[in-house]
Amino acid sequence: MPRVKSVMTPFPNSVELDITASEAIDFMRKHNISHLPATENNKLIGVISERDIQFHLGHSGLQAKELTIRDIYTPEPYVVDLNEPLDRVLSFMAKNHIGSALITRKGKLAGIFTARDVCRSFCEYLQKQYPADNDDILA
């Protein structure tokens, strides 16, 4: 069974809790990502997603400049060691409706594994299993 390290996004960006939601959104868009590990004093304590931010903005009536990550992050994220078997990670994420796993090595953030990584990895798997047949002609 492959390990989660084989399909994670290594060296993920993270944000401190005191940045604004507006700054987090700008950062996510600039780097084309949808999840960010949240840290405080360089300690991993949660995760924030673009969806979380949009949800809180829609329900709080506040502007993105008025909310900080501290106000909206998800504490106690799903954290696994980079040698965790991939099937266990996928099963846990599916059963618990989790969009990301934070991957650690010796307790330090080493990567992130998101639903986007799942899709990318599965696509690569399918392409290896079913190589394109150049003789196929579409009508």
Tens place of pLDDT for every residue, the chain, 139 residues?
A: 999 999 999 988 899 999 999 999 999 999 999 999 999 888 899 999 999 898 888 877 777 778 889 989 999 999 999 999 999 999 999 999 999 999 999 989 999 999 999 999 999 999 998 987 765 555 5
User: How far is the C-alpha of 13 from the C-alpha of 132, rounded, in Å?
Assistant: 35
| Domain 4-129 CATH (choose: 3.90.1150.10, 3.40.50.720, 3.40.50.1000, 3.10.580.10) | 3.10.580.10
Cβ-in-10-Å burial (0-12, 13-18, 19+) of 8 comes to buried
